[in-house]
Amino acid sequence: MYISEHKVREVLTYEALIPAIRQALIDFSAGLVDQPARMVLRANNAEGLRNGWFAVMPVIAGDMMGVKTVTFYPGNAELGLHTHMAVVELIRRSTGEPLAVMDGRLITEMRTAAVSAVALDALAPATATSLGILGSGVQARSHIEAFRRVRPALNEICVWSRTTANAERLAAETGARVVSIEEAAASDVVLTVTSSPTPILEGRWLSEEALVLAVGATGASLRELDDELMRSCFVVAESRSCAERESGDVRLSGATVQAEIGEVLSGKIAAPVGRRILFKSVGMAIEDLVGASLVWQARSREPFPDK
Q: Give the separation between CA 103 and CA 181, rounded to whole angstroms.
A: 35
Looking at residue 51, what is its pLDDT?
Answer: 85
Q: What are phi and psi of 306, to 5 degrees?
A: -60, 145
Domain span(s) for CATH 3.30.1780.10 in the chain: 2-107+286-300
Looking at residue 157, what is its pLDDT?
Answer: 98
Looking at residue 304, what is its pLDDT?
Answer: 40
Confidence of residue 277 (pLDDT cuts 50, 70, 90): very high
Looking at residue 219, what is its pLDDT?
Answer: 82
**Domain 123-283 grouped into CATH 3.20.20.70:** no
Evaluate if residue 95 carries a pLDDT over 50: yes
Strand partners, 190: 132, 212
Domain span(s) for CATH 3.40.50.720 in the chain: 123-283
Confidence of residue 258 (pLDDT cuts 50, 70, 90): very high
Q: Give the separation between CA 11 and CA 292, rounded to whole angstroms.
A: 11
Q: Give the separation between CA 286 and CA 31, rounded to whole angstroms.
A: 12
Q: Give the separation between CA 276 and CA 204, rounded to whole angstroms.
A: 12
Q: Give the separation between CA 69 and CA 136, rounded to whole angstroms.
A: 25
- What does the pLDDT average to over 87-92? 98
How far is residue 273 CA from its own chain's centroid?
Answer: 24
| DSSP three-state, residue 253 | helix
Residues 260-275, buried b or exposed e (16+ Cβ, 10 A)?
A: bbbbbbeeebebeeee
Question: In sequence order, what DSSP letters do the residues of 36-105 get, joined into one string?
Answer: PPPEEEE--SSSGGG--EEEEEEEEETTEEEEEEEEE-GGGGGGTS-SEEEEEEEEETTT--EEEEEE-H
Looking at residue 178, what is its pLDDT?
Answer: 98
pLDDT tens-digit readout, 191-227: 999 988 899 999 999 999 999 999 998 788 889 999 9
Confidence of residue 47 (pLDDT cuts 50, 70, 90): confident
Lowest mean pLDDT among 23-37, 116-130, 271-285, 290-304: 290-304
Amino acid at 226: D
Kindly list the distances between the CA atom of residue 135 and the CA atoms of 86, 169, 170, 257, 276, in Å, as whole numbers in the listed order.
22, 12, 10, 24, 21
Domain covering 2-107+286-300 in this structure, CATH number: 3.30.1780.10
Percent of the chain with pLDDT over 70: 98
Evaluate if residue 302 carries a pLDDT over 70: no
Evaluate if residue 80 carries a pLDDT over 70: yes
Q: What are phi and psi of 57, to 5 degrees?
A: -130, 95
Evaluate if residue 306 carries a pLDDT over 60: no
Strands 39-42 and 53-61: antiparallel
- What does the pLDDT average to over 279-289? 97
Evaluate if residue 158 carries a pLDDT over 80: yes
Q: Are 113 and 146 in contact (CB under 8 A)?
A: yes
Evaluate if residue 307 carries a pLDDT over 50: no
Q: Give the separation between CA 61 and CA 283, rounded to whole angstroms.
A: 16
Looking at residue 305, what is its pLDDT?
Answer: 39
Looking at residue 74, what is its pLDDT?
Answer: 82
Lowest mean pLDDT among 42-51, 165-174, 271-280: 42-51
Q: Are 261 and 237 in contact (CB under 8 A)?
A: yes
Evaluate if residue 85 carries a pLDDT over 70: yes
* Those residues with Cβ within 8 angstroms of residue 115's Cβ, 6 or more apart along the chain or in another chain: 21, 25, 238, 261, 281, 283, 287
Q: Mean pLDDT over all residues of the chain?
A: 94
